[in-house]
Homo-oligomer: A and B are copies of this chain.
Amino acid sequence: MRFSTRTRYGLRFLLRLAVQPPGILTELRQIAEKENISCGYLEQMVHALKPLGILRAVRGMGGGYALAKPPAEIPLEPVFECLEGDLAPVACVAGGKNCQRECLCSTREFWLEMDVHIRVFLKNKTLQTLLDANQRRLTGERTHVGL
């Protein structure tokens, strides 16, 4: 049970935006370099995050990205849902659907509970939560290479 690099990279991308003063644009290339991630790959995470409406993008020269909301108003659960594709721990509880074998399955109830447990954890955290714990590191001089 591992989260994908998409989710990990995506989080780090958002954190890079979050440490900037509100409204200041940051180029993808800059973040890609600091985070040691391929620029083209990072574009895919951005693409996935678009529908959430948490990004403000400006095209053309001098363009870049910024957060459309304060970090405190960006809960992590939908971010994970987007980046991970689907957050459910097993397919049969994905998308709120009932699987056909529901009435026979001995473990479904358990998986539902676990799904909720993880989601609650993520709903109670925002980008600001991450930011608070790490502002020191992100604003430091050294290049971020990690994870």
Contact = CB atoms under 8 A, between A and B. Distances in A.
Contact of A106 (B105, B118, B144): B144
A2 B89 contact: yes
A30 B1 CA distance: 29
Q: Classify chain A's interface size.
A: 35 or more
Given A107-B130, A134-B109, A147 B99 contact: yes
A133 B37 CA distance: 46
A111 B12 CA distance: 12
Number of copies of this protein chain within its complex: 2
B2 A147 contact: no
A38 B46 CA distance: 41
A61 interface: no
A104 B118 CA distance: 26
B107 A11 contact: yes
Given A92-B147, A101-B145, A147-B99, A107 B1 contact: no
Interface of A: 1-4, 7-8, 11-12, 15, 84, 86-92, 99, 101-111, 114, 117-118, 121, 125, 129-130, 133-134, 137-138, 142-147
